[in-house]
Amino acid sequence: MAVYNRKDSYYKKAKKEGYKSRAAYKLKELNTKYKIMKKGSKVLDCGAAPGGWSQVALEIVGEHGLVVGVDLNEITGINNKNFKSIAGDFTREEIINQVLEICDKYDCIISDIAPHTIGIRDADHTNSLELVEKVYTFAMQTLKKDGSFLFKLFEGEGRKGLVERLKKDFKDVRIIKPDATRQGSMEIYIAALYKLN
């Protein structure tokens, strides 16, 4: 198992530039490559705490965009009129209703959500896949036609079946490992672009 150097260059850069986590740089890279968000986009950040991805999304969408962050934990320290935070379980109907009251359909769903890991790859993958399935369901309820869905998954054998299903719902599906990913990490990111209906 790779040793995680908490003080690596991306961690230090995040601290210096005021981002809540190194994950900010993953989203910057992914958005530069795949144009998942743009100025004026309405973005839903699922599993948003501590808010690193929401910070980047707000920079990208600008003053005419919107970012809604949903997490079990309160998201603090983001003072921006275009940011709305909802504390709660996104699988519950009341939270879905709150999300849709703010905006009836979103241009983009992003999710850096991950389960608590136990260090057993198969188990961590299974738990990640179960969580992603819930985000996928949530995305299909809240994402507009031609919208994009970007999420993290721990690599494993369930990936293939998930990608096949995504290909039925989206025009283009890409699997990416951003440069800011820690060495030895089993994290991958999947960008599902242009929702079909």
Higher pLDDT among residues 79 and 20, named by residue: 79
pLDDT of residue 1: 38
CA distance 92 to 107: 21
Domain count, the chain: 1
Cα–Cα separations (whole angstroms), residue 120 to 5, 143, 168: 20, 33, 31
pTM of the model: 0.89
Q: What pLDDT was estimated at residue 5? A: 47
Any idea which residues carry the catalytic annotation?
152
Is residue 1 in some structural domain? Answer: no
Domain-located, residue 115: yes
Question: Is residue 180 included in any domain, yes or no?
Answer: yes
Domain assignment present for residue 2? The answer is: no
Domain with 101 in it: what CATH number? 3.40.50.150
Is residue 185 one of the residues assigned to a domain? yes
Domain boundaries, position 106: 9-195
Residues 12-35, buried b or exposed e (16+ Cβ, 10 A)?
Answer: eebeeeebbbbbbbbbbbbbeebe
Average pLDDT over residues 65-81: 94
Confidence of residue 13 (pLDDT cuts 50, 70, 90): low
Average of pLDDT values for 115-143?
A: 94
Residue 3 domain-assigned? no
Least confident piece of the model among 5-14, 20-29, 40-49: 5-14
| pLDDT value for 24 | 80
Q: How far is CA 192 from CA 7, 139, 162, 187, in A?
A: 32, 11, 11, 16
Q: Residue 87: inside a domain, yes or no?
A: yes
The answer to whether position 98 is within a domain reads yes
Confidence of residue 85 (pLDDT cuts 50, 70, 90): very high
Please say if the pLDDT value at position 30 is more than 60. Answer: yes
